[in-house]
Amino acid sequence: MTQPESRKSAGDVSSPAEELRVAIGGFVSEFKTFSNQIQSRIEQQETRMTQFERKSVHAASMARPALSVGADTEVSHRKAVSASLRTGDDDGLRGLVVESKALSSAVAGDGGYLLDPQTAASIKSTLSGTASIRAIANVVTVDATSYDVLIDHSEMGAGWANETDPSAETGTPGIDRITIALHELSALPKASQRLLDDSAFDIEGWLAGRIADKFARSEAAAFIAGDGVDKPKGILSYPVVDNDVWDWGNVGYVATGVDGGFDATSPADAIIDLVYSLTAEYRSGASFVMNSRTAGTLRKLKDSDGRFLWSDGLANGEPARLLGYPVLVAEDMPEIGSDSLSVAFGNFAAGYTVAERPDLRVLRDPFSAKPHVLFYATKRVGGGISDFAAIKLLKFGIA
């Protein structure tokens, strides 16, 4: 072998360091390629999982019962109302307007916000259970500003006929329309901001109790003696006439025959006359209405055989009865006095109508009574006699 050829062979042999460097470079290159492939596969898998989750959530929401959706909306509404009452944060309520078409017409910032259904139902239940004519009257819910009652004063004519004789023309009933206007009833309870900040304080329960108490007292007074101006018209605000000459548009009364009291010899006669001044079609569902002092007087009355006219309820919560008819004790009825109309008797489900809107709004006012927060609660309600033949009064007078 010649010397140049020997040198050429020696140059082809790499040093150990060079071989290690080349090997490491190849390994790094292959590892990067492998890593990129793994990352690409992970991203593809995540994309598939995200698409699957979206499809699953959509399918679940489509399969969810409507009642569950309504319940979720109700819970959200209550939470949003609670936040608004405590801190004045109305963002949750405004968000419900966007999310729920059912609330879009019920949430109005300029007139306050609707109370959540549970709180509103608590107030309504309290009003229905109070000692007010509402408890025995015809209560209707309307979405308008008034409620019309149609009264048929006469029965449609009828006659007998056979197969051959021509039928006679029957009479046409007379219809009268009574309009009951709705008025705004308001309450203005207040609480300190420190109390509202206490998470243990039941703001909804407290507010429901205060509103129900004020509404109940205002309604009860109006249904008895309201003059109909910006409030319901009470049963004692209509013209009254002796029942012997009664006509439509007036309330008939029966006199006791004694000014400011009962006849000393036969005190029960006036009560019996009052009961039978009402026709049989109304007596089956009739009730007495009087205040506590009048009730105390009447429960002492006896008939000619010495039996009490009054009997207490046999079961818990059952009303007392006078001559077998239930007694509603309404403290807004007048005391017994000269020519007073202290006892009413009638079928109030037919004779008196309470009309109201279903919504109950609350407006938070943190400025007018600092450091307290005022809650301006409003609802619309009206009331009036819808059948003048269904209610009679006892007058403590000679005639």
Neighbours of 183 (CB within 10 A): 18
- Residue 96 is predicted with a pLDDT of 47
Q: How far apart are CA 180 and CA 355, in angstroms?
A: 7
**What's the pLDDT at 207?**
83
Pairing state of beta strands 340-346 and 391-396?
Answer: antiparallel
Ranges of the chain with pLDDT below 50? 1-11, 64, 66-71, 95-110
Element (H, E) at 379: strand 372-385
Report the pLDDT value the prediction gives residue 130, as an integer from 0 to 100.
74
Query: Is the Cβ–Cβ distance between 185 and 215 less than 8 Å?
Result: yes
C-alpha of 399 from chain center:
43
pLDDT at 160: 67
Residue 164: the pLDDT is 65
323: left (phi over 0), alpha (psi -120 to 50) or beta: left
Topology, domain 112-152+174-399: hypothetical protein PF0899 fold (3.30.2320)
Sheet with 321-322, edge to edge strand ranges: 240-242, 251-255, 391-396, 340-346, 287-290, 325-329, 321-322, 310-311
d(Cα 263, Cα 34) in Å, to the nearest integer?
113
Cα 35 from chain centre: 66
Q: What is residue 210's predicted lDDT score, i.e. its pLDDT?
A: 86
* Stated pTM of the model: 0.70
Summarize pLDDT for 246-293 with one digit per residue, the tens: 999 999 999 999 999 999 999 999 999 999 999 999 999 999 999 999
Q: What pLDDT sits at residue 166?
A: 65
